Structure 1
Amino acid sequence: MTAIQDTAFARLDAEGRLLNSVLKAPTKKAGRFGFRGDIALKFQAKLADEARPPEISSDQVIAVAEAGSPHISFLTGFLLSFEYVKLLAEVLGDALSPSGVYILFCDNIDISKKYTMDYAGTTFVILPIDEATVYNELLELLYLEKGDLKKLDTAGKTDAIADKAASFKASFPKITYEEGLALMGPVRNLYENRPV
């Protein structure tokens, strides 16, 4: 049974960054640990012992790491702003691998554009999100049929996605982080137009 302490998730877990998990457990594949939830990128200042939600997070994360490996081999998630890619790379740090697959859905990227970006010694695939969930967008990107995954539990679905993502090769235009900052749109307020 793979323990989180034996994977690249150990430090993130110890720092209290793995939040709202629907999966934080070994998957069906021997030696693999899966995480589905949110990763806190920047914490709010704490007053006394109150628990506050993170100021900035990557939401709807799906990620896997193998026991004994210092790297997260696959990670996808939602970022409210492209600008937060830098923060994500800093938080993940040496858990990123040049051979890993990292697909980020950014809310303020033009809906018709897709990019790859080399940053912090690895390559990120930068995609817009079309009002759907990361899970749905990912299935479409990887040509996975929702019906085929229906009978699987969360760990099984995570394995199927990670296995398919391992062979994913992006041929999108390359941009630098600075070019991405210049291209990105305004950051949306997630709470506007919501009833109080």
Structure 2
Amino acid sequence: MTAITETALGRLEAEGRLLNSVLKSTTKKPGRFGFRGDIALKFPAKLADEARPPEISSDQVIMTAKAGETHIEFMTGFLLSFEYLKLLAEVLGDALSPQGKYFLFVDNIDISKKYQCEYGGATFYILPIDESTVYNELLSLLYIEKTELKKLDTAGKTDAVADKALTFDETFPSISYEEGLKTMGPIRNIYENRPV
């Protein structure tokens, strides 16, 4: 059985960044470790022993890494702002690789646009999110039918999505991080209009 410490996710776990997990274990594929949850990108100042939620996080994350490899092979997640790509790349650091497949669904980019952005030695697919979940958006992008995954458990679904994502070879217009900052919209208050 693969331990998280044998993979590129070990450092993130040690730093206390892997939060709210619905999966944090080996998958059905030998040597592969899967995570589904949130990644803390920026912590608030710590007061005494108080554990406070992160100031900034990437939510609805799905990622996989293999034992003995230094990089995350596949990752997808939600970012409230394109600007947070810099934070994400800094947090993931040397766990990013040109060989990895990284998909980010970003709240404040034009809903009709899709981009590729090279940052931190990796290529990120920057995609709009249309009032849906990262999981549903990714299934749609990868042409995976939900019915195909119905009988699988969370680990099995993670394998199926990761395997398909690793073969993804579509290309989108390239933008630099600086260009992305210029074109992004305002950051939405996700708690607005919600009942208290």
TM-score, reference length from structure 1? 0.99
Deviation (angstroms), 1:194 = 1.2
Give me the whole-angstrom Cα distance separating, in 2, the residues matched to 1:77 and 1:170. Answer: 18
Q: Which residue of 2 aligns with 1:89?
A: 89
**For residue 110 of structure 2, what is the aligned residue in structure 1?**
110
Shift of 1:192: 1.0
Distance 2:170 2:66 in 1: 23
Work out the percentage of aligned pairs sharing the same amino acid. 78
Q: In the alignment, what sits opposite 2:149?
A: 149
Give 3-state SS (helix, strand or coil) of 1:46's partner: coil
Unaligned runs of 5+ in 1: none
SS in 2 for 1:102: strand
In structure 2, C-alpha distance between the alignment counterparts of 1:60 and 1:191, rounded to whole Å = 17
Aligned residues: 196
Provide the C-alpha distance between the structure 2 equivalents of 1:72 and 1:31, rounded to a whole number of angstroms.
13
**Matching residue of 2:177:** 177
The residue that corresponds to 2:36 in the other structure is 36
Shift of 1:45: 1.0
Name the SS for the 1:61 alignment partner. Answer: strand
In structure 2, runs of 5+ residues without a counterpart are none
State the shift of 1:170 in Å. Answer: 2.7
* 2:145 counterpart letter in structure 1: E
Q: Distance in 2 between matches of 1:118 and 1:185?
A: 20
Q: Deviations over 1:146-180 (max 9, x none)?
A: 01101100000000000000110131100000000
Distance in 2 (alpha carbons) for counterparts of 1:67 and 1:29: 11
Question: Aligned-residue CA RMSD in angstroms?
Answer: 0.5
**Is 1:80 aligned to residue 80 of structure 2?**
yes
- Could you tell me how far apart the structure 1 residues matched to 2:147 and 2:170 are? 25
TM-score, scaled relative to structure 2: 0.99
